[in-house]
């Protein structure tokens, strides 16, 4: 029988049970147990930990880990909290996550392209007025980030008839129908020509605070922002100032520097902001468990650790 795998997470009871059930179904040959159920001796023997927003202090009590499997695609907190341990961290690369994120990007792009925030304001004012229609082929969507999520989103947007641009730190091949940009100059060009900018970037030292006052001033007047990447990429005060000045028309925010978003945050009440509770790219237990199962089985068969996060880049 294979050695025990530790499950380390900060989830509510129902969510933890769902993930454990999915993992047990995908890996019936393995024993997967929550960290709190392991004795000190058992913790010392653990070689693999499956983690979901874990307490670093608990992970530190697994001194002989060979690798850590994250159940999330975003690993910046793991890199920050656990990177110094030297234990390889494997992020979740799940095609279902890319599909759901692309779905969310398309849905909220339509929300902005069809002027839903304006219609909401009209409803609150009791105003019956039809606004001019702007078709997708007259709307440029600029994607920041061209990894698995960005590529999937680009394909969905192109299929829906939008003009699509995409930016990456270094030059990359882009999907058909997409205009590619790269580097600092390319980011400025993309922002200056986008009606809707969509952030799908990971949080790294280079992307923290990337979207600040100077970037907002360089954007197309009246453009909108969707942030489905990470909260600290956007400078909140600068964003609010750009909205108040009319430089930006609206922002759809699904990620924040502090989550849940504190009740006293001005973002809750700003008329130019739509607040979402981090729902754009949910990790589903069944699909994530299948990916984890493949990684664990490959490791058991070969002893090779799956491709791990580059600690220098942070993803």
Residue 249: alpha-carbon gap to chain centroid? 23
The residue assigned the tokens 């105003």 is 127
C-alpha separations of 40 from 36, 48, 274 in Å: 10, 15, 46
Classified as helix, coil or strand, 304 is coil
Distance CA(96)–CA(258), nearest Å, equals 26
Using only the alpha carbons of the chain, give its radius of gyration: 21
Tell me the CA distances in angstroms from 34 to 29, 42, 81, one per residue in order: 17, 11, 20
Which positions are catalytic?
Answer: 230, 278
Q: Which residues pair with 77 in a beta bridge?
A: none
First to last CA, the chain: 33
Per the listing, tokens 């990971």 go with 202
Half-sphere exposure of 296 (CA within 13 A, CB side): 28
User: Measuring CA to CA, which residue among 27, 58, 54, 29 is closest to residue 43?
Assistant: 58
As given in the structure block, the two tokens for residue 110 are 């339509």
Side-chain half-sphere of 275: how many Cα atoms within 13 Å? Answer: 15
Provide the phi-psi class of 53: left if phi over 0, else alpha when psi is between -120 and 50, else beta: left
CA dihedral 154, 155, 160, 161 (to 10 degrees): 70
56 token code pair: 């670093």
């Amino acid at each position: 029988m294979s050695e025990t795998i530790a499950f380390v997470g900060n989830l509510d009871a129902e969510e933890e049970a769902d993930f454990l059930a999915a993992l047990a179904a995908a890996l019936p040959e393995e024993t997967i147990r929550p960290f709190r159920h392991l004795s000190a001796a058992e913790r010392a023997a653990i070689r693999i930990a499956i983690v979901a927003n874990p307490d670093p202090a608990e992970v530190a009590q697994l001194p002989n880990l060979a690798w850590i499997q994250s159940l999330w695609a975003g690993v910046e907190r793991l890199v920050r909290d656990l990177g110094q341990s030297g234990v390889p961290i494997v992020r979740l690369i799940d095609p279902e996550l890319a599909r759901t994120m692309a779905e969310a990007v398309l849905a909220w792009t339509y929300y902005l392209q069809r002027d839903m925030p304006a219609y909401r304001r009209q409803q609150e004012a009791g105003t019956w007025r039809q606004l001019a229609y702007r078709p997708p082929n007259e709307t440029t969507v600029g994607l920041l980030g061209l990894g698995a999520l960005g590529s999937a989103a680009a394909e969905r947007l192109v299929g829906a008839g939008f003009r699509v641009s995409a930016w990456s730190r270094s030059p990359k091949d882009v999907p058909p129908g997409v205009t590619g940009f790269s580097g600092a100059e390319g980011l400025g060009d993309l922002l200056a020509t986008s009606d809707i900018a969509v952030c799908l970037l990971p949080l790294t030292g280079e992307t923290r605070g990337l979207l600040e006052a100077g970037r907002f001033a360089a954007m197309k007047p009246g453009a909108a922002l969707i942030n489905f990447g990470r909260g600290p990429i956007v400078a909140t005060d600068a964003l609010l100032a750009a909205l108040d000045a009319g430089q930006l028309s609206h922002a759809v925010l699904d990620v924040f520097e502090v989550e849940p978003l504190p009740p006293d945050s001005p973002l809750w009440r700003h008329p130019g902001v739509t607040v979402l509770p981090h729902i754009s790219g949910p990790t589903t237990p069944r699909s994530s468990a299948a990916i984890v199962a493949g990684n664990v089985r490959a490791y058991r068969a070969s002893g090779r650790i799956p491709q791990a996060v580059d600690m220098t880049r942070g993803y």
